[in-house]
Structure 1
Amino acid sequence: MILHRIEWRLALGAACVSLSAAAGASDYPSKPIQIIVPYAPGGSTDQLARALQKPMSDALGQQVVVINKPGAGGTIGTDQVVRAEPDGYTLVFGNSGPNAIVALTRKIPYDLFKDLKPVSTVALTPMILAVPTDSPAKTVKDFIAYAKKHDGKMNFGSVGAGSLSHLTGEYFNDMAGLHMQHVPYTGGAPMLPAFIGGEIQAAFVTGLDGATMLASGKVRYLAVGTERPTDVAPGLPAIAADVPGFRSVAWFGVLAPKGTPDAIVAKLNRAVATAVANPEVNKLFRERWIEPHSSTPQELTDIIKSEVAQWKPVVQKANIQN
């Protein structure tokens, strides 16, 4: 009899929690929503997050506020969201770094797959092979031949040790049979004088990070990391045409703390999709060589899993630690 009473009380408690969650979801959102950008203001992730503020606010009927919490490669801001109440009012604007790659190079305070609940992707962007305008290489095939001729004497830059641009360079080295040396910088802008001064002979960048370099006229693009040419980067061939199987694409997306009710995640997913489909957002993204792309939560989960599988052997082989 006592056991039956305990079971009944447990069932009643679970039912109350379920009803409470359902009630919270039905009137969600009833106050402003915070999207944490785990990087400093003005960077590529910050720009994309802020582009979504107004259309998401309009779709949800509540203000969406972007807050910057930079540090430790994006893990400080991400960990803050992991520890937040799972009520849909604190989200993180994630990307390949803190949500896939950083965990491969060092210990982080959260679990990639257990502590966050994907909501939707927002955008995809290929990594682009950039070279100085005075480089003798006009194609990827030319570049590989030139690098092999100067084996071990060429440098490639990145936006930081352990970043996707770093891993992409090491991945390219391995797949193309090259031995370029890695030189890390603190972002895309500091790489411009490095190109001009001859410190580096190549770099893998996103359209956002490489915009200043390209506009300077001192840097040009050779090819993209998508499996096939993309209209996001018109006129550029795919690296895979000369390095079969090569693929390197960055993503941006929205994630919530684990335990966030499915009904709230569904509302957020619809709001992200509406915002990404907004014509002004589309125009802004494409001007920056970024493909607007919303998704289901499962698709974002699959993207993260595939990234971990792709980059783990690269990190291990190149002994990358950050």
Structure 2
Amino acid sequence: MTQSRILRRHALALALLAVALPAAAQTYPSKPIRVIVPYAAGGSTDQLARAVQQPLAEALGQPVIIDNRPGAGGAIGTDMVAKAAPDGYTLVFGNSGPSALLSLMRKTPYDEVRDFRPISTVAFTPMILAVPADLPAGSVQEFVAYVKKQDGKLNIGSVGNGSFSHLTSEYFNTAAGIRLVHVPYNGGAPLTTAMLGGQVQASFVTGLDGATMLATGKVKYLGVSTLKATPVVPGVPAIADALPGFKSAAWFGLLAPKGTPDEIVQKLNAAVVAAVARPEIHKLFTGRNVEARSSTPAEMENLIKDEIQQWKPVIQGARIEM
């Protein structure tokens, strides 16, 4: 075969590939879409994923199947998506942990920035400082003063080692110049039991987990981790009022494997934006102290990179490993 014929064949193959990719994107989606939730059913991430499941299906015109794949702090399910075909049919409903920060605490088989294409955020939830209702402190300032007087004798619980509540606790220790002893629990339910039973004197909780505690009347909120007070957690002042610059908010959202075509990412983003904008989603999320908020893929990518920069010194300073 002559050199010219070989070159013509290569040129034809490249031309066909260029045509085929947009065509596949134009017909997308043509079958059900699987969304991996890298946690067990019933948790905060799972609840939010299932809340937008049907609105996403309606926006895309195909069934959306939630597939729970828990384990290794979210790494198992997240890695499944990192290694999936980049065709838009396998996505991960991730959050700040496995989708941004986990590799700072342990070796993961994927890279949060390199191996994924962000689609859109779905929700944000600030961390809320919760303490026993009878604790003699009615504000963040009073709580910090109280902790200093106890000289390292008070505990702060979290939903697990390396969890966002743990990271926020260590960040709070540093920002306030105090020492609360970290006690990790295996999820929100055991932490709630510990708080109500007096085993820990504080915890940073999401609105989803904190609602159960608050409803008992045995727990009160002292501050929310947004830079300013937020209607997402009405009536609770910002921790930043006492500790300027303090911020800690967990996000939830959809990501696709790296290499997913732009056209598919754009279709998925439009579907998420439409789903999150629905009034019933806003009402549902607000009732759980969660803010419904979508984003562009670029905004979500920048969010992930910014979080890595914010939390890296906290994780290294506290020597948090999983």
The TM-score range, normalised by the shorter chain, is over 0.9
The reply on whether 1:267 has 2:291 as its aligned counterpart is: no
Q: Structure 1's 206 and 7: CA in aligned 2 closer, same or farther, altered over 3 A?
A: farther
After TM superposition, the structure 1 = structure 2 runs for residues 40-51 of structure 1, keeping only pairs within 5 Å, are: 40-51=40-51
Aligned equivalents of 1:159, 1:127: Cα separation in 2: 12
User: What amino acid does structure 2 have at the position aligned with 1:87?
Assistant: D
Alignment of 1:60-71 (within 5 A): 60-71=60-71
Deviation, structure 1 residue 12: 3.3
Distance 2:66 2:175 in 1: 39
- Please say if residues 123 and 294 of structure 1, whose CA atoms lie closer than 8 Å, have aligned partners that are also in contact: yes
What amino acid is aligned across from residue 293 of structure 1 in structure 2?
A: R
Q: Is the 8 A contact 1:187 1:209 kept in 2?
A: no
| Cα distance, 1:13 vs structure 2 | 2.9
Deviation for aligned residue 1:10:
4.0
SS in 1 for 2:188: coil
1:86·1:259 contact (CA, 8 Å) conserved in 2? yes
**RMSD of equivalent CA atoms:** 1.4
Number of corresponding residues = 322
- Taking the TM superposition and a 5 Å limit, the aligned residue runs for 1:95-244 are 95-244=95-244
Q: Deviations over 1:144-179 (max 9, x none)?
A: 000111121111000000011000000000010001
Query: Could you tell me which residue of structure 2 aligns to residue 246 of structure 1?
Result: 246
TM-score by length of 1: 0.97
Give the Cα separation in 2 of the matches to 1:183 and 1:176.
19
Tell me: CA distance 1:31–1:221, structure 2 relative to 1, closer, same or farther (3 Å): same
Cα displacement (A) at 1:194: 1.5
Tell me the SS of whatever aligns to 1:92: strand
d(CA) in 1 for partners of 2:4, 2:168 = 59
Q: Secondary structure at the match of 2:53?
A: helix
The separation in 1 between residues aligned to 2:206 and 2:279, in whole angstroms, is 22
Q: Distance in 2 between the 1:4 and 1:138 partners?
A: 82
Deviations along 1:35-61, one digit per CA (max 9) or x if unpaired, are 110100011100110111111111111
1:197 deviates by: 2.8
Shift of the 244–28 alpha-carbon distance from structure 1 to 2, 3 Å rule, reads: same
Deviation string for 1:98-155 (max 9, x for gaps)? 0112111000000111111000000011000000111111000000000111121111
2:21 corresponds in structure 1 to: 21
| Counterpart position of 2:72 | 72
Q: Work out whether residues 196 and 213 of structure 2, in 8 Å CA contact, stay in contact via their aligned partners in 1.
A: no
8 A Cα contact 1:156 1:200, kept in partner? yes
Distance 1:170 1:5, change over 3 A: farther
